[in-house]
Chain A
Amino acid sequence: GESVGLHLPTLSVQEGDNSIINCAYSNSASDYFIWYKQESGKGPQFIIDIRSNMDKRQGQRVTVLLNKTVKHLSLQIAATQPGDSAVYFCADNFGNEKLTFGTGTRLTIIP
């Protein structure tokens, strides 16, 4: 079946450095992706989204890159802060039916 996954279950980054979290998907027809951040004890929080007619989208301190050729997307967080510690999920909203989530990457910030 179709799937969305993440490359690394955990990632540790020095405070102030940039973080890159990767995600792969299998459905070449997928056309809308969302990144979520989930802190302990909370629901997923929307970070940024991107549609398949774009390669890059920027938000505040975050950038999402989409490579449709290799079915890969990444979330870049600039100047990582302690508050960025969380689990990050990419989600595929193929067919406008439901969100299919990856397994998540736990980002830990080293002071």
Chain B
Amino acid sequence: KAGVTQTPRYLIKTRGQQVTLSCSPISGHRSVSWYQQTPGQGLQFLFEYFSETQRNKGNFPGRFSGRQFSNSRSEMNVSTLELGDSALYLCASSQDGTGGARTEAFFGQGTRLTVV
């Protein structure tokens, strides 16, 4: 069974540009969450999508957005990039268990974004 796949692995962008990151969850998983990891702030939740709908959202500005497709693949977009957006962006997929209880989330390798 293939794991969570994130593309691209590495990305260098200039301030002011926008970027789109992609995540393919484990087959059968309908929940996809995005996290930002930086040395200073650690792992922080961005948002979660389930069945093409944003189900939860973290405390990030509106420049950060996402979407999910009918095949559960997800993309996140960051517009008007700032130097502080440099981070490892991680995607995790999980499947809702009985009664909506969550099961463990499996992470991809991440996309390392550098803003210069």
Interface size on B, residues (CB 8 A): 24
Task: State the CA gap A97–B44 with chains docked (Å).
Answer: 13
Q: Which residue of B lies closest to A103 (CB)?
A: B42
B42 touches A104 (CB 8 A): yes
Interface range for A: 20 to 34
Shortest CB-to-CB span from A79 to chain B, Å, is 24
B104 touches A46 (CB 8 A): yes
Task: State the CA gap A110–B105 with chains docked (Å).
Answer: 31
Q: Which residue of B lies closest to A47 (CB)?
A: B104
Task: State the CA gap A32–B101 with chains docked (Å).
Answer: 10
B110 touches A32 (CB 8 A): no
Q: Which of A32, A44, A104 contacts B102 (CB 8 A)?
A: A32
Q: Does B113 contact A (CB under 8 A)?
A: no
B42 touches A96 (CB 8 A): no
Chain B residues with Cβ under 8 A from A93's Cβ? 102
A43 touches B107 (CB 8 A): yes
Given A93-B102, A98-B58, A99-B105, A43 and B90 contact (CB-CB distance below 8 Å):
yes
Q: Which residues of A contact B (CB under 8 A)?
A: 32, 34, 36, 41-46, 49, 89, 91, 93, 96-104
Q: Which residue of B lies closest to A43 (CB)?
A: B107
Given A44-B90, A104-B42, A98 and B108 contact (CB-CB distance below 8 Å):
no
A98 touches B56 (CB 8 A): yes
Given A32-B102, A45-B107, A98 and B45 contact (CB-CB distance below 8 Å):
yes
Q: Can you add 20 more A-B contacts, CB < 8 Å, to A46-B106, A99-B92?
A: A34-B104, A36-B107, A41-B109, A42-B109, A43-B4, A43-B6, A43-B107, A43-B108, A44-B43, A44-B107, A45-B107, A46-B104, A46-B107, A97-B55, A98-B48, A99-B33, A99-B105, A100-B45, A101-B42, A102-B42
